[in-house]
């Protein structure tokens, strides 16, 4: 099932999710570095990583929703996509709460609750990321119908739109 939202022949949602995931993971790493070094500069970096991750996560969600709405009703992919999407909304909410708690203190130095929320968001993001991989790699959501190991470039004028989705052996 091909993605509905594409840019230059590639699905937009997977292009966008790398930014919030990377920023959220980096925020947790910088929180741990701050705890280990007691250098509050890392708290500021973590704060802005979360802020950027929230913006990126909300943008990626729009394109994920567009693709999810195109999945046929009553399928395993539709159910997994729903859990994936709701789980990622929870990830964004956990990091948003963490950001809000950080914004209440000078220097954005996170307390235990703010760090705990970020770590919970990080852990849940691992689960929802796996579910996203299940959607693409196992269920073929977002995969071009003409995909195979010798498929032409997605930028090619002539695209293969008929035949099997895999090259015959």
Where exactly are the structural domains of the chain? 6-138
Residues forming a β-bridge with 10: 7
Per the prediction, the chain carries an average pLDDT of 90
List pLDDT tens digits, range 128-145.
999 999 999 999 888 888
Structure tokens at 113: 């609750």
Q: What is the largest CA-CA distance in the chain?
A: 63
Within the chain, where are the H helices? 12-37, 41-69, 76-103, 112-133
Selection from 91, 124, 132, 157 nearest residue 3 by Cα? 132
The alpha carbon of 112 is separated from its chain's Cα centroid by a whole number of angstroms, namely 25
**Confidence at residue 154, expressed as pLDDT on a 0 to 100 scale:** 80
**Confidence at residue 128, expressed as pLDDT on a 0 to 100 scale:** 97
List pLDDT tens digits, range 69-118.
999 999 999 999 999 999 999 999 999 999 999 999 999 999 999 999 99
Selection from 164, 125, 127 nearest residue 144 by Cα? 164
């Amino acid at each position: 099932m091909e993605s509905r939202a594409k840019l230059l022949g590639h699905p937009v949602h997977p292009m966008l999710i790398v930014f919030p995931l990377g920023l959220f993971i980096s925020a947790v790493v910088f929180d741990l570095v701050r705890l280990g070094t007691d250098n509050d500069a890392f708290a500021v970096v973590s704060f802005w990583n979360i802020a950027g991750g929230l913006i990126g996560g909300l943008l990626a969600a729009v394109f994920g929703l567009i693709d999810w709405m195109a999945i046929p009703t009553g399928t395993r992919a539709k159910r997994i996509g729903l859990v994936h999407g709701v789980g990622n909304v929870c990830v964004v909410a956990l990091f948003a709460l963490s950001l809000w708690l950080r914004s209440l203190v000078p220097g954005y130095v996170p307390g235990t609750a703010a760090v705990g929320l970020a770590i919970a968001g990080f852990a849940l993001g691992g689960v929802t990321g796996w579910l996203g991989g299940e959607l693409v790699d196992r269920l073929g959501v977002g995969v071009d119908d003409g995909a195979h190991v010798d498929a032409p470039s997605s930028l090619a004028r002539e695209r293969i739109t008929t035949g099997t989705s895999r090259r015959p052996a």
